[in-house]
Structure 1
Amino acid sequence: MSGDRSATVVGVDVGGSGLRLQWSYAGQPGPVLTAPGVRIGSGGVDVEALAADASRLLSEGGVTDVAAVCWSQRGLLFLSDPVEVVRVVSGALGAARTAVVSDAVASLVGALGGVRPGAVVAAGTGAVAFGSDFGSADTSVWRLVDGWGHVLGDRGSAAGVGLEGLRAGLRFHDGLPGGSERLLAEGESAFGATSHWPRRVMTGTDAPALLASFAPRVAEVASHGDVVAARICREAGESLAESLLSAARGIASPVLVATGGLLAAEPVRVALEAAVGEAGAALSPAVGGALDGALHLATVLARTGTIPRHPAYVHLS
């Protein structure tokens, strides 16, 4: 890379499915590079391994001098010591300025296309909503809603839809009210005999992804008139709307955005839009994702020397 390399800014987004990194030089974004995602051990997230991967990607790209990096990480609040993450990332990437943020913050900035008041709900395998006015005063709003995992929460997520679909199939199997013959058949097609279901969805480390893989089948059954599947999808959309509106509470004129793969399921998306509309609000299209948000925050950090700070969600070196 030729020219003033110190003008380079770097965004990194670390999730369960992978680490993604992108730099921008003179306002021109580079390629999106990838490495393995979050690895969790007895001590929490293995940040040193992740930072080493990111450093290698930069080195392979010829990037040596970085003005600012923004590191967006899943599990920052519960599975890492943010101060330690800042230390490790700063040391590994050697940027003049380093910011470490929760992936919820980067997702919101990316979805809004900038640092402005709003809220986003992300409906993928899990579900989480985050809203902020990005103020620094005691009266500012920084609110995370849900994201508790498929056992305790993640209401309206793909894993939740899949789980409710399988439950409805088993209710039909057991001759109980609220069951669905079609969902039972779909479950057997996907996972075999019902006697195999408990072991598959309760003992595997991939249980959330396994449950989420059934969500498209539930949505398809709903689209063909199954009233039980339709109810599951409708309630999922309404739950996502509740989380989004809760995250936006107290923010003046917030922009509301929804993202995530589950929104490809029309019955869920329609229910979400309807519930938000009934609350007197409307959804705006997402501008980008978490990596876009991280790169934008790195750009702001390089230009101004700071970004909006919060003791839980944003940490600077």
Structure 2
Amino acid sequence: MTNRPEIIAIDGGGTRCRVACLRSGKRTLIEVSSANASTDLAGTIEQVNKGLALLAERLSLTTGDLAQIPAFVGLAGMVGPEIRQAIADGIHLSHARIEDDRPAAVRGALGREDGAIAHCGTGSFFAVQQDGAIRLSGGWGPILGDEASAQWLGRKALLAALDVADGLRPPSPLAEALLREHGSTAGIVSFAASATPARFGELAPKVTKAAQSEDPLALKLLKHGADHIARTLTDMGWTSPLPICLTGGLAPRYEQFLPHDMRSAIAPAKGEPIDGALSLAQDLRREMSA
């Protein structure tokens, strides 16, 4: 069919999943709910297929029309071959390259140029790209990693509020507000027992807003996250003046707490992860045509 898209790209994270295509140079974009393959595999497959169905409807096509199109699929939580195979078996795409969500974020932010990324959204990861090679770190999920992410910051804020209740930290407006909003220490524990990473991440804006009012606890938490970013990028080989992109909704909030040489190297991202996913889908299309 001549009206089919040339490529399809999917970028799924803990906050949202975006499905895009290019047809005759025009981009079409669909957004559905979050997609993390390690914490909700069935839900991720459901959201990807929902996005593809909505995309097909928008284009006046069927999902069968889309099935043979080269596609790059980047999903949070892609931590092993078993999950990759389950995704491949579950989605309606026959020519899909399925990866985690980090390569698309790197390509979107840096293109093919040298640079580093500290990505802090619902989850987090770090990358250094030099001479065409990419070194990645993090992205291991809310239990074993995702330091400096929104879910991490929200979780750390709740833990600090419990420390305040135990008399281990001095009171602060942020801690008092969290205790008040959840009713008690028991309310915080009950919330944490069932909260998803996205729900923890919803608390991060409370921390960043409190920091603007010089709340000492909020400032300490943000400094902790910034220290992790600085230490990780340095350990990965970053040196000045290699550009650093702070991507994701939270990462820019750490800028003022980074060392001076890193602040001086911060550069705007060239694009978003979905832009990177489309670029990687173009790469796949060229490989298939070669």
TM bucket, shorter chain: 0.7 to 0.9
TM-score by structure 1 length?
Answer: 0.75
Match of 1:19? Answer: 17
2:227 to 222, 238, 245: 238
| Equivalent position amino acid for 2:184 in 1 | A
Within 1, Cα distance between the matches of 2:200 and 2:229? Answer: 18
SS of the residue corresponding to residue 10 of structure 1 reads strand
TM-score by structure 2 length?
Answer: 0.81
Deviation string 1:232-275 (CA, Å, 9 cap, x unpaired) is: 1112122123334444x28998542111111464xx2311xx32
1:283 pairs with 2:285 = no
Q: 1:285 to 1:212 in 2, by over 3 A?
A: same
2:99 to 90, 101, 108: 101
Which sections of structure 2, spanning at least 5 residues, go unmatched?
none
1:116 pairs with 2:113 = yes
Identity, % of aligned pairs?
24
Aligned positions of 1:139-288 closer than 5 A: 141-176=133-168, 178-201=169-192, 203-206=193-196, 208-247=197-236, 249=237, 254-263=242-251, 265=253, 268-271=254-257, 274-275=258-259, 277-278=260-261, 282-288=265-271
Match of 1:126? Answer: 123
| Equivalent position amino acid for 1:93 in 2 | L
| Equivalent position amino acid for 2:246 in 1 | A
Q: Is the 8 A contact 2:37 2:75 kept in 1?
A: no
Which sections of structure 1, spanning at least 5 residues, go unmatched?
136-140, 308-317
Question: Larger helix proportion, structure 1 or 2?
Answer: 2
Q: Is the 8 A contact 2:30 2:55 kept in 1?
A: no
2:60 to 62, 74, 82: 62
Q: Is the 8 A contact 1:45 1:79 kept in 2?
A: no
Q: 1:48 to 1:232 in 2, by over 3 A?
A: closer
Aligned positions of 1:63-102 closer than 5 A: 63=61, 64=65, 67-78=69-80, 80-83=82-85, 85-86=87-88, 89=91, 92-94=92-94, 97-102=95-100
| Equivalent position amino acid for 1:21 in 2 | V
Q: Give the superposed CA RMSD.
A: 3.4
SS of the residue corresponding to residue 146 of structure 2 reads coil
Q: 1:218 to 1:98 in 2, by over 3 A?
A: closer
SS of the residue corresponding to residue 230 of structure 1 reads helix
SS of the residue corresponding to residue 284 of structure 1 reads coil
Q: Is the 8 A contact 2:77 2:100 kept in 1?
A: yes
Within 1, Cα distance between the matches of 2:188 and 2:39? Answer: 29
SS of the residue corresponding to residue 144 of structure 2 reads coil
Match of 1:313? Answer: none
Within 2, Cα distance between the matches of 1:174 and 1:43? Answer: 34
Q: 1:98 to 1:255 in 2, by over 3 A?
A: farther
Q: Is the 8 A contact 2:39 2:77 kept in 1?
A: no
Within 1, Cα distance between the matches of 2:148 and 2:222? Answer: 8
| Equivalent position amino acid for 2:152 in 1 | G
Q: 1:83 to 1:221 in 2, by over 3 A?
A: closer
**How many residue pairs end up in the alignment?**
285
SS of the residue corresponding to residue 245 of structure 2 reads strand
Within 2, Cα distance between the matches of 1:13 and 1:6? Answer: 20
SS of the residue corresponding to residue 161 of structure 1 reads helix
Q: Is the 8 A contact 2:5 2:21 kept in 1?
A: no
